[in-house]
Amino acid sequence: MRHKNKGFTLIELLVVVAIIGILAAVGVVAYNGYTAAAKVNATKTMHAQTVKYISAEIQKCSLGESKFMGTNQDCPATAAKAVTGAVATMTDKNPYSTTNNAIRSSTAFNEGYVSLSASGTTITVNTCTKTGCATADQMTATVSTE
């Protein structure tokens, strides 16, 4: 009588392990691409929201409000006061470094940060969307306090 072995051969096991390895490699690459795109989109959204928020807060002063930026800062809104208020009240996190707030007072372009600077009556909003901050990855907008 012939004895039948139950189970898988070594070749069958190796084929299954190879297939699982290939699927895992494809999944990791796809996930990394997804997270990189999400960081870029989050940074672009923060840039746009910051510009809109500062513009709206400055507009409140021209409509007769006595305080702006959710702080005890008095109107009229100067560029320097608006930068200070935005940095104090906006607590969005940097998508590239979630332990740091993304909004800061600076003129630099750094990945994931929205940098605010004041000069006269103009607020400049600088943002870098990707690691390396090539010119194509930089966003700049200005808001006037007048």
Write the pLDDT tens digit of every residue in 97-109: 999 999 999 998 9
Task: For residue 11, name the pLDDT band (cuts at 50, 70, 90).
Answer: very high
Phi, psi of 23 (to 5 degrees): -60, -40
Q: Is the pLDDT of residue 122 over 90?
A: yes
Amino acid at 132: G
pLDDT at 1: 62
pLDDT at 60: 86
For the residues 134-145, what does the mean pLDDT come to? 92
β-bridge pairing 103-105 and 138-144:
unpaired
Q: Is the pLDDT of residue 114 over 90?
A: yes
Closest CA to 103 of 43, 58, 55, 146: 43
Q: What percent of the chain has pLDDT over 90?
A: 57
Q: What is the mean pLDDT of the chain?
A: 90
- DSSP, collapsed to helix, strand or coil, labels residue 120 as coil
Alpha-carbon distance values, 73 to 77, 85, 115 (Å) = 8, 8, 21
